Amino acid sequence: MALIDWSKVTLTDPPQLPREVLRELKKGIDGTFREFSRGYGEAIENFFHPLLMFLKWFQDLLIETPWPLILVILGALSWWGSRSWKMVVGTVLAFLFIGWLDMWEDTMATLAIVSVATLLCIAIGIPIGILMARSDRVQAMILPVLDIMQTIPSFVYLIPVVMLLGIGKVPGLLAVMIYAIPPIVRLTNLGIRLVDKEVLEAADAFGSSYRQKLFQVQIPLALPNIFAGVNQTIMMALSMVVIAAMIGVPGLGVPVLRAVSNQYLALGVMNGLAIVAIAIIFDRVSQAFGKRLQKHREGEHGA
């Protein structure tokens, strides 16, 4: 079978695979993947079942917890992060406003998936970043994967995820994580690689093992960068809320989708702004926390 249909090639039509070959190729790939998902879909789904249960439990917990308690917890969290009364008042007011406009339940669902996604990203992303920082070869292998994860349109990887796992919270969570994990990996790697060489040499000179160097020198010194990565990961997870809603993740994305298909301007804007409010609160609190981590740099000479 010819790989190029020369009869079709002109100055405006570049050489291409014959139509029927191309069709067979696509069919072949689709068929193989479908076979795969038929064969292993259930096993994979079972593998993720505990995660699904946890997500469900966490979301129900947030929704069923009395709202005053949630406000207290959120206020306390923002105090712990930022040590600023303004932040605490702002947080409480924003969430009261969200509740007042009847978006409480969706907001809690969004908080649930974003926090679980962020925690998983941190748990998986930081070790990967550490591995990358340790070896140039691992870095060379992982960097292109991160590039793909960040640039490939989310809809494209939604297709195989949905084929494998169907519609629901877990595929939604995976989609969010694929999009949100690269910054934490990148910034962990970068942060560790940027640690002052002389300080590392000092750690070596005093007989630190790899582990001691990692936990007592590299990670603490990379924390500001790692924290910038956490912040980015949260922001990116929030920005995936609407797309996740397309594959059945409950939350603020669902009314936005409804608003798009029905041209409900007010509904769309309100829910959109609720996402923005959460994003701003998370961003400011986590940045203030990141700054506090750098407290030792205060009074630095020539800085």
Among 22, 212, 215, 262, binds another protein (CB under 8 A): 212
Q: Does 196 bind another protein (CB under 8 A)?
A: yes
Q: Per residue in 260-278, is it b (16+ CB within 10 Å) or e — as a string?
A: eeeeeeebbebbbbbbebb
Q: What is the phi-psi region of residue 17: left when phi exceeds 0, alpha when psi lies from -120 to 50, beta otherwise?
A: beta
Would you call 84 helix, strand, or coil by DSSP? coil
Torsion angle in degrees (nearest 10) through CA of 133, 134, 136, 142: -60
Q: Does 137 bind another protein (CB under 8 A)?
A: no
x-marked contacts with another protein along 223-252 as a string, rule CB under 8 A: x-----------------------------
Residues in contact with 167: Cβ distance below 8 Å, sequence separation at least 6, in sequence order: 247, 248
Q: Which region among 30-38, 67-75, 200-208, 270-278 touches another protein (by CB under 8 A)?
A: 200-208
Q: Which region among 18-26, 36-44, 72-80, 294-302 touches another protein (by CB under 8 A)?
A: 294-302
Q: Does 205 bind another protein (CB under 8 A)?
A: yes
CA 262 vs. chain centroid, Å, equals 29
Among 18, 99, 168, 220, binds another protein (CB under 8 A): 220
Least Å from the CB of residue 98 to another protein:
38
Comparing CB distances to another protein, the nearer of 2 and 205 is: 205
Q: Which region among 54-62, 112-120, 194-202, 246-254 touches another protein (by CB under 8 A)?
A: 194-202
Separation CA 286–CA 80 (nearest Å): 10
Least Å from the CB of residue 194 to another protein:
13
Separation CA 261–CA 60 (nearest Å): 28
Comparing CB distances to another protein, the nearer of 220 and 248 is: 220
Q: Does 298 bind another protein (CB under 8 A)?
A: yes
Residue with tokens 């009869």: 7
Count residues near another protein (CB under 8 A). Answer: 25
CB 244 within 8 Å of CB 253? yes
Comparing CB distances to another protein, the nearer of 80 and 215 is: 215
Separation CA 41–CA 36 (nearest Å): 7
Interface residue list for another protein (CB under 8 A):
196, 198-199, 201-209, 212, 216-217, 220-221, 223, 296-301, 303
